[in-house]
Structure 1
Amino acid sequence: MAQSLDEITVIAPHFKRRLSGVTSTVIQLIPEQRRQGLGILTLGPGLPAHLPKMRWAQLPGLWKSPSAATARVWHARRNNEMLVGLILRDVFRMPLKLLFTSAAQRHHSRYTRWLISKMDAVVATNAKSGSFLKVPHTVIRHGVDLELFHPSEKTDTTNPEDLRGRLLIGCFGRVRHQKGTDLFVRAMIELLPQHPEWTAVISGRISTEHSGFADQLKAVIASAGLTDRIRFLGEVDDIKPWYQRLTLYVAPSRNEGFGLTPLEAMASGTAVVASDAGAYAEMIIEGETGAVVPAGDYEKLRDAIAAFLQPQKAKEAGRKGRDYVVANFGLEREARALCDVYDSLIQQLMVATHE
């Protein structure tokens, strides 16, 4: 059943069917925004059924302002979402203010820069992403749901039977070169023979495009005789228990937009070794909650992992990581900061209307 637009002040389009980092952000963020009293709906495919949505047939309803404001905010996160927002605002003259969140850490194309220049406001997910923007912007870092991601008692009974008694080191995310899965596998092949109490687990989707890459990794693992100690889990239905089972999490990406997995791991009480891709360096206190190494630098990644294969050191870093995320990266902080931006945009239009 479609929800009424009368109390809705924010539309969050999502025009991609496949799971991505943006998808994960939206899935976590919108329920928190609703809990804080924001009237927000999503629009488009690729999101779980429990998220509040509007139907495409309701688009004409955006010509009418909501009951408590003179406009709505269209919060885009991709080029096609910005473009549709522009058409609705400038061609169909709907009362919308356009907001774009940028996570990319690269120079934008001319087309993207043009779209961004037409936005009413821009948010960057971290300082590094903001450095590539040519327009005024606000930095609002992503947060993590501390109720969903939290520590548990890491006893043997929490692990699947064939992994009981093992210390687990994990690497989660799509299995591909960009994510540095090969760097993780290479490090595990080199380090695990010296640390018989540890087992590595890899979880994430293997797309058809990257199946050859994954097959090569599995062949190398088999050649090293480590198939039973470097496990491919595939896509799991619920990743949260796996974060809790880990003692150490590794995020070896060569490039990222923002990257939520280190925050999810730290919120779960797990130490993290990460590259400096995305916003990873802004999440980790070097030597205390984990370590950060240059993206793509295998030797430094291997050595940083090796330093945290001391179980007590990793467990202490995990405890500190949880405290740090609670203090600095709670999802409610991100939701409140975005609400301030939404309110500012709507207020701008209300002032302009009455002048």
Structure 2
Amino acid sequence: MSMTRTYVDPDGVHVIAPNFKQRLSGVTSTIIQLVPVQNRLGQKVAVLGPGLPPHLPHLRFRDLWKLWRAPQGARHRVWHARRNIEMLPGIILRDILRMPLKLVFTSASQRKHSGWTKLLIRQMDAVIATSTKTAGYLEVPNTVVMHGIDCEIFRPAEDKAQAKNACGLDPNLSYIGCFGRIRHQKGTDLFVDAMIELLPSHPGWSAIIAGRATAKHINFENELKTRVKQAGLDDRILFVGEHKNIADWYRTLDLFVAPQRWEGFGLTPLEAMATAVPVVATDVGAFSELIVEGATGTLIPANDLPRMVVAAGALMDDVQTLQDHAMTAREHTTAQFALEGEANSLGMLYRRGAA
């Protein structure tokens, strides 16, 4: 049954979070998780655009004319863009239509920006980088605000065997997982090849691949399934598809691998660590700023299958270290990367530099 969207009057909105891409992405996921927390903290945020769940407070496009009036209790509204297609409308509303807006842009990109993107960024009132690596690619003053995670949604299982049962898994096995979109960039093939090498010598372990392949990457997924079948491991390397209750699947894991070849930020290691699951991750995105080497997991070079096999195998063989890492991972994530911390940092930036 479809739910009706919750629409709000712009007069009471202090921050607008536009989302102008229909397709679910990491940016969209960030907005979905962050906006409810921001509103609990009194930041008065509403979303604008498609592809967002109905329970979030939405603005109607037909109500945008009301942005000519300042909101109740403030001199400006904040337009918080996260993509080029959201920066440009903000510039038009502020500079051409002369609406009382302050423009904020969050960049997660770790590559040189195009001339067009640089031009848009220079028009912003404040710029946020999601990591120090990302900040290094920006040519304007910026503030690093790292993404957080909802540590209540992503929390350890009270009973791991029960968590495994709930997902139809064998409670007597240990599980190593790789979650996210299935494609070459995400390194799913590296994970599969590592498991093909490791699982025959680790009879107490099985592997889970959770996520979906878009139409463009279906052949890639099918080739991986064929590779697994030819290795005789189709009952131990499980492709479980995409799940809305992904936090439940994290609770079944004993070890997580983030094998990406490239990443902007990358939330999956945080999701795993918040669930008390140690991580083996490639040194891409913000992973080196999320993982404490030798305490919450292990970092390896990108696209390095032998190192992945060694790092994952070492933890699979060492139950005590795995348990120690699990406890530290949860403590580290709740202390440093709770979603409330990200929301509070944004609120301070809105007040200091944008509002």
TM > 0.5 fold call: yes
- Partners of 2:87 and 2:160 lie apart in 1 by 47
Shift of the alpha carbon at 1:311?
2.9
1:305-344 alignment runs, 5 A limit:
305-309=312-316, 310-344=318-352
Instruction: Assess, with a 3 A threshold, how the Cα gap between structure 1 residues 75 and 162 changes in structure 2: closer, same or farther.
Output: closer
Match of 1:98 among 103, 116, 119: 103
- Partners of 2:354 and 2:148 lie apart in 1 by 24
Whether 1:87 and 2:92 are equivalent positions in the alignment is yes
Amino acid at match of 2:228: I
Contact conserved, 1:251 with 1:261, CA < 8 A, in 2? yes
Whether 1:163 and 2:173 are equivalent positions in the alignment is no
1:64-120 deviation line (CA, Å, top 9, x unaligned) = 100111110100000000011111111111111110000000001111111111111
Give 3-state SS (helix, strand or coil) of 2:238's partner.
strand
1:133-282 alignment runs, 5 A limit:
133-159=138-164, 160-282=167-289
- Partners of 2:159 and 2:200 lie apart in 1 by 23
Shift of the alpha carbon at 1:222?
0.5
- Partners of 1:154 and 1:112 lie apart in 2 by 48
Contact conserved, 1:7 with 1:66, CA < 8 A, in 2? yes
1:278-317 alignment runs, 5 A limit:
278-309=285-316, 310-317=318-325
Give 3-state SS (helix, strand or coil) of 2:55's partner.
coil
Match of 2:69 among 64, 72, 78: 64
Contact conserved, 1:154 with 1:244, CA < 8 A, in 2? no
- Partners of 1:323 and 1:237 lie apart in 2 by 25
Superposed CA RMSD in Å reads 1.1
1:18-37 alignment runs, 5 A limit:
18-37=23-42
Give 3-state SS (helix, strand or coil) of 1:99's partner.
strand
Give 3-state SS (helix, strand or coil) of 2:11's partner.
coil
Shift of the alpha carbon at 1:346?
4.3
Give 3-state SS (helix, strand or coil) of 1:177's partner.
coil
Amino acid at match of 2:128: V
Give 3-state SS (helix, strand or coil) of 1:237's partner.
coil
- Partners of 1:66 and 1:162 lie apart in 2 by 52
Shift of the alpha carbon at 1:165?
1.3
Q: Report which stretch shifted further, 302-311 or 199-208.
A: 302-311
- Partners of 1:295 and 1:341 lie apart in 2 by 34
Contact conserved, 2:103 with 2:354, CA < 8 A, in 1? no
- Partners of 1:312 and 1:52 lie apart in 2 by 46
Contact conserved, 2:210 with 2:240, CA < 8 A, in 1? yes
Aligned residue for 2:3? none
Q: Which runs of 4+ in 1 moved over 4 A?
A: none
- Partners of 1:153 and 1:198 lie apart in 2 by 21
**Structure 1: runs of 5+ lacking an equivalent:** 348-355
Shift of the alpha carbon at 1:224?
0.2
Give 3-state SS (helix, strand or coil) of 2:36's partner.
helix
Amino acid at match of 1:34: N
Contact conserved, 1:179 with 1:252, CA < 8 A, in 2? yes
Amino acid at match of 1:313: T
Give 3-state SS (helix, strand or coil) of 2:146's partner.
coil
- Partners of 2:340 and 2:262 lie apart in 1 by 27
- Partners of 2:168 and 2:222 lie apart in 1 by 26
Amino acid at match of 1:91: I
Amino acid at match of 1:53: H
**Structure 2: runs of 5+ lacking an equivalent:** 1-5
Q: Report which stretch shifted further, 104-113 or 337-346.
A: 337-346
1:181-236 deviation line (CA, Å, top 9, x unaligned) = 00000000000001011010001111010001101101100000000000001111
- Partners of 1:163 and 1:94 lie apart in 2 by 58
Identical counterparts, % of pairs: 52
1:121-144 deviation line (CA, Å, top 9, x unaligned) = 100000000000000000001111
> TM-score normalised to the size of structure 2?
0.96
- Partners of 2:131 and 2:41 lie apart in 1 by 23
- Partners of 1:281 and 1:254 lie apart in 2 by 14
- Partners of 2:212 and 2:39 lie apart in 1 by 30
